[in-house]
Amino acid sequence: MSINRRNFLKFAGASTLIGVTGTAVIEKILLTDAEAAVSPGSEALTAKRWAMVIDVSKIKTEDDYKKIIHACHSIHNVPDIGNKKDEVKWIWEEDYEHSFPGVSDEFVPESIEHKSFLLLCNHCAKPACVRVCPTKATFKRPDGIVAMDYHRCIGCRFCMAACPYGARSFNWRDPRPFIKEETKEFPTRMKGVVEKCTFCSERLARGLKPACVEASNGALVFGDLEDPNSEVRKALSAHYTLRRKPEVGTAPSVYYVIGGNEHA
Amino acid sequence: MYNGGKIIAGLIIFIGLFTFPIFYNMGKASKMPEPKLDTPAIKELPEAERKCVESKEYMKANHMQLLDEWRDLVLRDGNLVYESTSGKKYIMSLQNTCMHCHSNKKEFCDKCHTYANVKPYCWSCHISPKENET
Amino acid sequence: MLDKALTGSKGYWIWIFSLLAVIGVGVLSYLHQFDYGLGVTGMSRDVSWGFYISQFTFLVGVAASAVMLIIPYYLHDYKKFGKIVILGEFLAIAAVTMCILFIFVDLGQPMRVMNVILHPTPNSILFWDATVLNGYLFINLIVGWTTLTADRKGVPPPNWVKPFIYLSIPWAVSIHTVTAFLYAGLPGRHFWLTAVMAARFLASAFASGPSLLILLCLIVRKVSKFDPGKEAIQTLGKIVTYAMFANVFLLGLEFFTAFYSQIPGHMHSFVYLYAGLDGYSKLVPLMWISSILAIISLVMLVNPNIRRKENLLATACVMIFISLWIDKGFGLVVGGFVPNMFERVTEYWPSLPETLITLGVWSIGFLILTVLYKIAIAVRERTASWPELH
């Protein structure tokens, strides 16, 4: 199999001379051929549609929030640029009113009104960002994760205009000087591309849950939305939850437990 | 010929300028560099296992296509493991697999890339191993 | 024919070199942006499109407006436009070139721009926008060049070019419709999520483009022996008047829907633009200037006695152009991002490098326009005494 693939590669190189069309055809053959020799790995966690349930009542102190955010930002080399204009973030805190604009009521329990919520990419079932991307640099994987291919992104920022959740950040400048502790196992990004949370697809591939979930002491639950026995489904049947802006029809996969303390 | 002198002089100047780089660099061709394989990780391996994911010749000619293919296979198609021609399995990762052995980016990657005047942008995002400044 | 652009008066060359100087400054600023990243602009995580994309949006309208000459001349045989239809087509070429350049300078990774063709994605409106814009440029180059060449020889344009001329009519509409769809199809951006967006775009385009064309016609008459014709200019004035009324009417519809329904999301951007929101009001003076200019110019244009006086018509056209530039070349794009997705306000103002790059692109457009007009004028001056061919 692999020998065939190698020959195909050589052939593909030669056919580049023939033209783009030729190469495209070869690539098609090549990819189907290559699938035989590559695999997702035996430890990989799989799902039909990954989802997350966040119960902020279980996050007590400001340090607990910081720990979760740090877990994500440090392993993914997310820069801390230190000004709002150039800001890059994958997961962050926001108050109730601004997390759920349009939903937030005038009179709510103080425990909710002044509580911080954790916001991140919603990995929508019908993502607007994927619909508008002109190069398929952002795309939806079969397991529901809305992924980014930073190699392909041209930096048009159409996805940022389209995302109803403000989940996307653009690298307005080279992020490298602003990464305090570099994680060697994960790449950084370069200037001129858009980035966001990936539901830790690189960890799932190695059998690990997302970093924020691991750091949350059970406040964040992660699992397969289409599996009735999954942790997320159990959490959803036990609690009343909200999703951000469900009215725009993107079908977000991140749920927020409201008033979790009382009913837990 | 009208203005014959001027035209001929102009032509000579043009040809001179046009071929200047050839004359300027004549006899200065530098030797093709040989990538160095003497990193600690490679030295640790027993002689019989000192092999790349594919043969040396294949990697020399096609590493760029292989890496390009890997990135789509991992990032877009959700794969992780590559089974080489020899049947050995590798995790497809430039940063963690390739550069684990080839921790000498300057000697292994840069030398040839500079020689061939290609500027791959791998390292704008992928973190290269820490090396002693030379 | 290009040689005709190489001879000209002192004034012509001063103008050309002034444009080249501004272009030079723009190119240097772009090199700085290319090196540092788009962080040199005033854009931010919250207002992620700014001056570049709004200029692009405005100029698509200017480009599309050539159809306002094509339709009367080719479909209704309105002969008075015969002499200036080429001016409309050449304006379209310059405007579309600027559009393409503005998209290019807005890209974070401009070296990868070919990814749009390598990985064609029909579900992305941007893919279609790139397609129709390049197509429109191509069509206008063919039509403009062929008809002018024929004219120079004193023969009617060849028959094969006719289909391209007719194709340019729906195509002009398509470029601005598709550009409106960039905005009007995004969930969560209330200000843009409106079915009349494309209609309003076209209305404002058919006001701003022809008003620029009127000004250009008057300049052409002043600097050359080619007279575009009093009647042609008057007809353009009427087109501007109707289109501007339609545009203001459509804007009024937006106001009604937002404020009568009292849906907060629909009102916020309008409140921000015209009154300020949460204490932020950077764009308020500009938006009011736009509104006041629109009203004054409409009052002037609707009165035939004023409209017939060319200097007053020109004044009204300047006002309309500025008014619509503020409205579409600034407010429309920025307004969509304020407030942001968390209903917080981040304001935007272009930075110096961003402004210089923008001026540079405009200058490239005007350089192309000048050269093309120079050629067209040279041909027209020569054939002016010839009997009408069309």
Cα distances (Å, whole numbers) of residue A169 to B50, C35, C45, C192: 42, 20, 6, 21
If asked whether residues A19 and A103 sit together in one domain, one would say: no
10 Å Cβ neighbour count for C66?
A: 30
Q: Is A34's pLDDT higher than 60?
A: no
Element (H, E) at B105: helix B105-105
Q: What is the DSSP string of B55-102?
A: -HHHHHHHHHHHHHHHHIIIIIT---EEE-TTS-EEE--IIIIIHHH-
Q: Assess if residue A67 is contained within a domain.
A: yes
Cβ-based contacts of C106 with chain A (< 8 Å): 156-157
Above 0.85 for ipTM, yes or no?
Answer: yes
Interface test with A, best of B72, B125, B131 (most A CBs within 10 A): B125
Q: Which pLDDT band, with edges at 50, 70 and 90, does C390 fall under?
A: very low
Q: Is C178's pLDDT higher than 70?
A: yes
Is the minimum CB–CB distance between A18 and chain C shorter than 8 Å?
Answer: no
Tokens coding B100: 């684990």
Residues C337-346: what's their mean pLDDT? 94
Chain length of chain C = 390
CA angle C332, C333, C335 (to 5 degrees): 65
| Percent share of chain A, pLDDT over 90 | 73
Q: What is the DSSP string of C169-221?
A: HHHHHHHHHHHHHHHHT-TT-TTT--TTHHHHHHHHHHHHHHHHHHHHHHHHH
Q: Is C324's pLDDT higher than 70?
A: yes
Task: Find the helix packing angle between C125-153 and C85-106, rounded to 10°.
Answer: 150
Element (H, E) at A246: none
Query: Would you say C40 and C351 are in contact if contact means Cβ atoms under 8 Å apart?
Result: yes
Q: Do B58 and A37 touch (CB under 8 A)?
A: no
Q: Assess if residue A134 is contained within a domain.
A: yes
More confident call, B7 vs A36: B7
More confident call, B87 vs C16: C16
* Per-residue pLDDT tens over the stretch A94-151: 999 999 988 877 788 888 888 999 999 999 999 999 999 999 999 999 999 999 999 9
Q: Which pLDDT band, with edges at 50, 70 and 90, does C388 fall under?
A: low
Query: Would you say A123 and A145 are in contact if contact means Cβ atoms under 8 Å apart?
Result: yes
The pLDDT value recorded for residue A264 is 41
Q: Report the gap between the CA of C335 and the closest CA in chain A (Å).
A: 12
Interface test with A, best of B81, B86, B90 (most A CBs within 10 A): B81
Region of B71 please: left (phi>0), alpha (psi -120 to 50) or beta: alpha
Residues 198-257 of C with CB under 8 A from A: none
Query: Would you say A118 and A65 are in contact if contact means Cβ atoms under 8 Å apart?
Result: yes
Cβ-based contacts of A132 with chain C (< 8 Å): 124-126, 185-186
Q: Assess if residue A100 is contained within a domain.
A: yes
| CB burial readout A133-169, b (16+ within 10 A) else e | bbbbbbbbbebbbbbbbbbbbbbbbbbbbbbbbbbbb
Q: Is A32's pLDDT higher than 90?
A: no
Residues A199-215: what's their mean pLDDT? 95
If asked whether residues A144 and A205 sit together in one domain, one would say: yes
Q: Which pLDDT band, with edges at 50, 70 and 90, does C381 fall under?
A: confident
- By three-state DSSP, how is residue C104 classified? helix
Q: Is C13's pLDDT higher than 60?
A: yes
Residue C277, strand partner residues: C280
Q: Is A27's pLDDT higher than 80?
A: no
The CA distance from C194 to C200, in Å, is 10
Q: Which pLDDT band, with edges at 50, 70 and 90, does C169 fall under?
A: very high
Residues B27-31: what's their mean pLDDT? 77
Region of C234 please: left (phi>0), alpha (psi -120 to 50) or beta: alpha
Give chain C's domain count: 1
Q: Assess if residue B7 is contained within a domain.
A: no
The CATH number of whichever domain residue A116 belongs to comes to 3.30.70.20
The CA distance from C314 to C222, in Å, is 13
Name the nearest CA neighbour of A221 among A256, A250, A245, A264.
Answer: A256
Which amino acid appears at position A260 of this protein?
A: G
CA angle A87, A89, A93 (to 5 degrees): 105
Name the nearest CA neighbour of A182 among B127, B131, B124.
Answer: B127
Q: Do A161 and C189 touch (CB under 8 A)?
A: yes
Q: What is the DSSP string of C112-172?
A: GTTHHHHS--TT-HHHHHHHHHHHHHHHHHHHHHHHHHHHHHTSPPPGGGHHHHHHHHHHH
Q: Do A101 and C37 touch (CB under 8 A)?
A: no
If asked whether residues A248 and A214 sit together in one domain, one would say: yes
If asked whether residues A13 and A79 sit together in one domain, one would say: no
Chain length of chain B = 134
The CA distance from C254 to C266, in Å, is 9
Q: Which residues contact C284 (CB under 8 A, 6 or more apart)?
A: C273, C274, C275, C276
Highest mean pLDDT: which of A25-29, B21-25, C349-353?
Answer: C349-353
Indicate the pairing of strand A146-148 with strand A138-140: antiparallel
Q: Assess if residue C390 is contained within a domain.
A: no
Q: Is B104's pLDDT higher than 70?
A: yes
Q: Is A3's pLDDT higher than 80?
A: no
More confident call, B22 vs A169: A169
Q: Which pLDDT band, with edges at 50, 70 and 90, does A2 fall under?
A: very low
Q: Which pLDDT band, with edges at 50, 70 and 90, does C385 fall under?
A: low
Chains near A with 3+ CB pairs less than 8 A apart are B, C
Is the minimum CB–CB distance between A22 and chain C shorter than 8 Å?
Answer: no
Q: Is A15's pLDDT higher than 70?
A: no
Tokens coding B86: 């020899």
* Per-residue pLDDT tens over the stretch C232-248: 999 999 999 999 999 99
Q: Do B71 and A40 touch (CB under 8 A)?
A: no
If asked whether residues A28 and A68 sit together in one domain, one would say: no
The CATH number of whichever domain residue C116 belongs to comes to 1.20.1630.10
The pLDDT value recorded for residue C317 is 97
Residues A230-256: what's their mean pLDDT? 95
Cβ-based contacts of C115 with chain A (< 8 Å): 134-135, 137, 152, 154
Residue A241, strand partner residues: A257
The CA distance from C74 to A83, in Å, is 56
* Per-residue pLDDT tens over the stretch C345-373: 999 999 999 999 999 999 999 999 999 99
Q: Assess if residue C244 is contained within a domain.
A: yes
Query: Residue A109 belongs to what domain range?
Result: 50-263
Residue A254, strand partner residues: A52
If asked whether residues A10 and A104 sit together in one domain, one would say: no
Q: Which pLDDT band, with edges at 50, 70 and 90, does A35 fall under?
A: very low
Tokens coding A28: 């098609």
Q: Assess if residue B61 is contained within a domain.
A: yes
* Per-residue pLDDT tens over the stretch C25-41: 999 999 999 999 999 99
CA-CA-CA-CA torsion sign (C28, C32, C38, C40): negative
Q: Report the gap between the CA of B118 and the closest CA in chain A (Å).
A: 16
Q: Do A165 and C186 touch (CB under 8 A)?
A: no
Sort C170 into a burial class: Cβ within 10 Å, 0-12 / 13-18 / 19+. Answer: exposed
The CA distance from A16 to B17, in Å, is 33
The pLDDT value recorded for residue A263 is 44
Q: Is B132's pLDDT higher than 80?
A: no
Q: Is B134's pLDDT higher than 50?
A: no
Q: Assess if residue A189 is contained within a domain.
A: yes
Q: Assess if residue B131 is contained within a domain.
A: no
Q: Which pLDDT band, with edges at 50, 70 and 90, does B70 fall under?
A: very high
Report the greatest alpha carbon distance in chain A.
69
Chains near B with 3+ CB pairs less than 8 A apart are A
Q: Assess if residue B27 is contained within a domain.
A: no
Phi, psi of A100 (to 5 degrees): -125, 60
If asked whether residues A23 and A127 sit together in one domain, one would say: no
Region of A101 please: left (phi>0), alpha (psi -120 to 50) or beta: beta
Q: Which of A183-197, B26-40, C14-28 has the lowest mean pLDDT?
A: B26-40
Query: Residue C309 belongs to what domain range?
Result: 2-383
If asked whether residues A98 and A25 sit together in one domain, one would say: no
| Percent share of chain A, pLDDT over 70 | 84
Mean pLDDT, chain A, whole residue set: 87
Which amino acid appears at position C216 of this protein?
A: L
Query: Would you say C60 and C175 are in contact if contact means Cβ atoms under 8 Å apart?
Result: yes
Residues A233-240: what's their mean pLDDT? 94
The pLDDT value recorded for residue A33 is 47
Q: Is B81's pLDDT higher than 80?
A: yes
Q: Is A7's pLDDT higher than 60?
A: no
* Per-residue pLDDT tens over the stretch C193-230: 999 999 999 999 999 999 999 999 999 999 998 999 99
- The answer, yes or no, to whether the previous bond of A164 is cis (omega within 30 of 0) is no
Q: Is C133's pLDDT higher than 70?
A: yes
Q: Which pLDDT band, with edges at 50, 70 and 90, does C1 fall under?
A: confident
Cβ-based contacts of A93 with chain C (< 8 Å): none
More confident call, A248 vs A11: A248
Task: Find the helix packing angle between C51-64 and C197-223, rounded to 10°.
Answer: 70
Name the nearest CA neighbour of C271 among C338, C326, C223.
Answer: C338
Give chain B's domain count: 1
Element (H, E) at C24: helix C10-36
Mean pLDDT, chain C, whole residue set: 94
Tokens coding C54: 């709004």
Query: Residue B93 belongs to what domain range?
Result: 32-125
- By three-state DSSP, how is residue A83 classified? coil
Q: Assess if residue C285 is contained within a domain.
A: yes
The CA distance from C212 to C239, in Å, is 12
Give chain A's domain count: 2
Q: Assess if residue C388 is contained within a domain.
A: no
Q: Is C299's pLDDT higher than 60?
A: yes
The DSSP call for residue B30 is P
Q: Assess if residue C199 is contained within a domain.
A: yes
Q: Which residues contact A17 (CB under 8 A, 6 or more apart)?
A: none
Q: Assess if residue C389 is contained within a domain.
A: no
